[in-house]
Structure formats: C-alpha cells, structure tokens
Copies of this chain bind each other. A is one copy, B any other.
Amino acid sequence: MGRWEPNARERLATAALDLYSERGYEQTTVAEIAGRAGLTERTFYRHYADKREVLFAGSAELQELFARAVAGAPQATAPLDALLVGLDAVSEAFTDRRDFARKRHAVILANPELRERELIKLASMAAAIAGALRERGVAEPAAGLAAEAGVAVFKIGFERWIAAAERRTLPHLLRDSLDELKAVATGG
C-alpha cells in the first residue's frame, strides 16, 4: 500500500467489476483482475480476501453507517423519521457511485450465490437497525417491523436509482419510497 500504488483498492474494484461484467463472475480470476488494474495478485490480496469480497467490501460499513445514524437521531424522533435519518446517511456513501452500483447489481443478479449473499447482508442490516431502534426505546415487534420496512425502502429505492433511464438522486428516491410505503400502510 505504498505510494507507488495510488488508489489500488479502487482500481482493483473497478477492474474486477469490469471483468465480471464482460466475462462473468465465475470465469474471472484474481490474476486477471490484478493484471487489468496494472497491479500484482499480492496487492489484490492485501486489499481483498477473495474475488467475492470485492463486491461486498462496503456492506459492513454501510450497515454500521445506517444503524449509527438511526441510533443518533434526536431523542424525540419517531421510528420512521429515525429511519429517514439513516437513509439519508447511507445515500451519501453512494455519491458518484451510480455506474458502479449499476454494474455491481447486474453481476449479482446473474449469480444465485451472490444473490444469496446480498440477501444475507440485507438481513444483517435489518438486524442492526432493529437493534439501534430498540436502544432508542422502541419495543418489539415494532422495532423489527420498522427495521424490515427501512431495509425494504432502501432496497427498492436503490433499485429505482440504478434503473436504466433514472435521473433522480438516491436521497430523493429513498425519501419518495418511504412516502410510498407510508401511503400504502395508511391506505390499507
């Protein structure tokens, strides 16, 4: 990670995603990823445990970011508004990442094993958010239900954001999806 490898982590992620898109995830080797990035395999393994990790490296931080923002919302904030604070916080992590997110999503959809892994990450995120809500004094089952709803809003708002012709921003689409959920819940 010396100065002769500037942005190695990012270059490797970009190279990996390009190769997964072009040849398929299964068919791509770590050696090829490193080669495409102009780096060595050894450098790859200094940054990522394996080729799957490239796709999920940000998941733990994202979960942490979401849960911490929910936990840190002002004390009197209702659960759903605390979720909104969390959704705004995760939005920021994706600034200028739409193309990357689109490619990543396509690679994951094409591979059942990666899709299962993505679902596990979302389930883990829901558990972390439920924990943050319980710490705010929200009782079960409300905490668990609100957390699942928050992750559903994130998932669907995110999928809208990376849709082909979509131009609206992620914060906008997450807020809009939360409003849609409210409308569904009150109209039933």
Contacts and interface: CB of A to CB of B under 8 A. Distances in A.
Interface of A: 78-81, 83-84, 112, 115-117, 119-120, 123, 141-142, 144-146, 148-149, 152-153, 155-157, 160, 177, 180-188
A184 B119 contact: no
Contact of A185 (B112, B120, B186): B186
A183 B153 CA distance: 17
B148 A155 contact: yes
Q: Which of A155, A181, A187 has the most CB of B within 10 A?
A: A181
A184 B177 CA distance: 15
A184 B157 CA distance: 19
8 contacts: A79-B184, A80-B184, A112-B120, A116-B116, A119-B123, A141-B180, A182-B185, A184-B185
Contacts of A160: 141
A84 B184 CA distance: 13
A185 B180 CA distance: 10
A181 B145 contact: yes
Given A155-B148, A156-B148, A188 B83 contact: yes
Nearest to A160: B141
B81 A188 contact: yes
Given A123-B119, A148-B152, A142 B83 contact: no
A18 to B, nearest CB: 27
Contacts of A117: 116
Contacts of A78: 187-188
